[in-house]
Amino acid sequence: MNQPEVSALQDEELQQLDQLLETYGDDDERMDLEMLDGFACALALAPAPVDLASQVDEVMGRAPAWQGGDEAVFTGLLARFQVRIAQRLAETGDPDDPASLERQMPLIAFPEDIDIDDLDEDDDPMAALPADFPAGLGWGIGFMAGVGLDEDGWDRWADADSRVAELLDQAMELTLCEAEQLQEIGDPDGELPSLDDRMSILAGLPALLGSVHGARPGGSRRH
């Protein structure tokens, strides 16, 4: 039986979710909305699916000390966030419909003084961003945190399916922002991804995520 369609969180609801993350999460360890999007995508795609609601401490970076009815509000928003992401992964986008493509894009944060939506159709969004802006960094970190909950399962899946291996490689590349990380992954002579590289990865994520979603046992994309 198909799950009923769940609407995306409205801007004010995303702001409320973000505020609860900030209020109850550890300042240094909690996820923001971009990281949460990546994390929820990984959980929705995982070889053995994980309920996002069971990972509140991971999301918050600690066990929250809830007050009043905030736990119920947070749990409700988190559940809708995950269900909507699962539906987003299952959608078949129309490459000729900008609105369709926008619905499939991960939630990526840009500098507060730049509103991509306010740019004119002919404007180059790349020109509005600092050359060293790590676009997609939080998403990649969140995704890989979700992968880390079942690293062996993801590794086995990646060995069996090149699409999964490509997704892991792309997500890992988004997490690279300091030269020391290249040393840690055994590639000291490598290069950090440029802004062009990052935007290219982000542009291709919807199709790649959808392909991996369809590759899950029993998985399929919805039209």
pLDDT at 6: 67
CA–CA separation, 27 and 31 (whole Å): 9
Among 173, 223, 220, 175, residue whose Cα is nearest residue 197: 173
pLDDT, tens digit, 9 for 90 and up, residues 104-126 = 889 888 877 655 555 454 555 55
* Selected residue with higher pLDDT from 18 and 191: 18
Full domain range(s) for residue 19: 11-215
pLDDT at 173: 93
44 lies in some domain: yes
How many folded domains does the chain comprise? 1
150 lies in some domain: yes
Residue ranges of alpha helices (H) inside the chain are 11-24, 33-45, 56-60, 70-90, 98-104, 137-147, 151-160, 162-174, 179-184, 195-215
CA–CA separation, 3 and 18 (whole Å): 26
- Please check whether residue 17 is in contact with residue 77, taking contact to mean a CB–CB distance below 8 angstroms: yes
pLDDT at 222: 43
pLDDT at 2: 54
pLDDT band for position 29 (cuts 50, 70, 90)? very high
5 lies in some domain: no
pLDDT at 38: 97
Task: Give me the helix-helix angle, 162-174 and 137-147, nearest 10°.
Answer: 130
- Please check whether residue 150 is in contact with residue 46, taking contact to mean a CB–CB distance below 8 angstroms: yes
Report the DSSP beta bridge partners of residue 91. 222
CA 104 to the chain's CA centroid: 11
